[in-house]
Amino acid sequence: MRKILFSLALISVASQASASVKIEEELFIFGQKPEIVRELIEAGSVEVDHVSSEGFELYGSKGLSKYLDSKKIPYFDMKSVSKSAFSDYPSHTEITNKLKAAEAKNPGIMKLFSIGKSVKGKELWVMKISDNVNVDEIEPEFKYISSMHGDEITGREMTVSLIQEIAAKYGSDSELTELVNNSEIYIMPSMNPDGSERKQRANANGTDLNRDFPDLKDPNIAGNMQIENQHVMKFQASRKFSLSANFHGGTIVANYPWDSTYDRHPLDGLVKELSLAYAELNPEMRSSREFAGGITNGADWYVVKGGMQDWSCFFYNDLQITLEVSHDKWPNYSEIPGFYKSNRESMVNYMKQVHRGAGIKIKRPNISGTVAIKQISPVAKNLGSYAFSSSEFYKVLPEGQYSYTVSEKNKAAKEITVFIERDKVFSNGNFTVID
Ligand SMILES: [Zn+2]
Looking at residue 429, the DSSP 8-state letter turns out to be G
Amino acid letter for position 230: Q
Cα–Cα distance, 63 to 10 (Å, whole number)? 11
Residues contacting residue 314 through CB under 8 Å, at least 6 positions apart = 216
Which pLDDT does position 74 carry in this prediction? 87
Cα–Cα distance, 263 to 278 (Å, whole number)? 23
CB-CB contact of 198 with 150 (8 Å): yes
CA terminus-to-terminus distance, the chain: 71
Amino acid letter for position 272: K
Nearest partner of 329 among 112, 36, 59, judged by Cα: 59
The SS3 call for residue 409 is: coil
Residue 75 Cα to ligand 1 midpoint, Å, equals 20
Residues contacting residue 413 through CB under 8 Å, at least 6 positions apart = 405, 406, 407
Residue 107 Cα to ligand 1 midpoint, Å, equals 32
Longest dimension (CA), the chain: 71
Tell me the backbone φ, ψ of residue 208, rounded to 5 degrees.
-75, 110
Amino acid letter for position 217: K
Report CA-CA distances (Å) from 99 to 96, 125, 172, 290.
Answer: 5, 9, 21, 36
**Residue 409: CB atoms within 10 Å:** 7
Which pLDDT does position 10 carry in this prediction? 45
Q: Where in the chain are the domains?
A: 2-80, 86-355, 357-434
**Chain Cα centroid distance, residue 131:** 24
Residues contacting residue 57 through CB under 8 Å, at least 6 positions apart = 26, 27, 28, 29, 48, 49, 50, 78, 250
Residue 35 Cα to ligand 1 midpoint, Å, equals 24
Task: Encode the chain (435 residues) as per-residue pLDDT tens digits.
Answer: 343 345 534 434 333 334 578 999 999 998 888 888 888 888 888 999 988 888 899 999 999 999 999 988 888 888 876 555 566 899 999 999 999 999 999 999 999 999 999 999 999 999 999 999 999 999 999 999 999 999 999 999 999 999 999 999 999 999 999 999 999 999 999 999 999 999 999 999 999 999 999 988 776 655 689 999 999 999 999 999 999 999 999 999 999 999 999 999 999 999 999 999 999 999 999 999 999 999 999 999 998 889 999 999 999 999 999 999 999 999 999 999 999 999 999 999 999 999 999 999 999 999 999 999 999 999 999 999 999 999 999 999 999 999 999 999 888 999 999 988 876 665 556 899 998
Which pLDDT does position 81 carry in this prediction? 67
| Nearest-10 Cα torsion for 266, 269, 274, 279 | 130
CB-CB contact of 138 with 199 (8 Å): no
Residue 142 Cα to ligand 1 midpoint, Å, equals 20
Cα–Cα distance, 304 to 47 (Å, whole number)? 9
Contacts 24+ apart (CB under 8 A), 351-354: 351/142, 351/144, 351/179, 351/183, 351/185, 352/179, 352/277, 352/425, 352/426, 353/243, 353/274, 353/277, 353/396, 353/425, 354/140, 354/141, 354/142, 354/183, 354/242, 354/243, 354/396
Which pLDDT does position 15 carry in this prediction? 35
Which pLDDT does position 33 carry in this prediction? 82
Report CA-CA distances (Å) from 372 to 7, 129, 258, 419.
Answer: 51, 30, 23, 15
Any bridge partners for residue 406, and if so which?
371, 414
Compute the half-sphere exposure of residue 148: CA atoms within 13 Å on the CB side of its CA.
Answer: 26
Which pLDDT does position 424 carry in this prediction? 65
Q: Is 26 a catalytic residue?
A: no
Nearest partner of 72 among 37, 108, 38, 107, judged by Cα: 37
Which pLDDT does position 44 carry in this prediction? 85
Which pLDDT does position 17 carry in this prediction? 37
Residue 208 Cα to ligand 1 midpoint, Å, equals 9
Domains 86-355 and 357-434 share a fold: no
Residue 101 Cα to ligand 1 midpoint, Å, equals 28
Taking domain 86-355, whether its CATH number is 3.40.630.10 is answered by: yes
Compute the half-sphere exposure of residue 329: CA atoms within 13 Å on the CB side of its CA.
Answer: 23
Give CATH superfamily name and number for 357-434: Carboxypeptidase-like, regulatory domain (2.60.40.1120)
Residue 109 Cα to ligand 1 midpoint, Å, equals 30
Report CA-CA distances (Å) from 373 to 33, 240, 383.
Answer: 44, 17, 5
Which pLDDT does position 18 carry in this prediction? 43
* Ion ligand 1: residues, Cβ under 5 Å: 149, 152, 248
pTM for this one?
0.90
Catalytic residue (choose from 290, 324, 335, 421): 324
Any bridge partners for residue 319, and if so which?
243
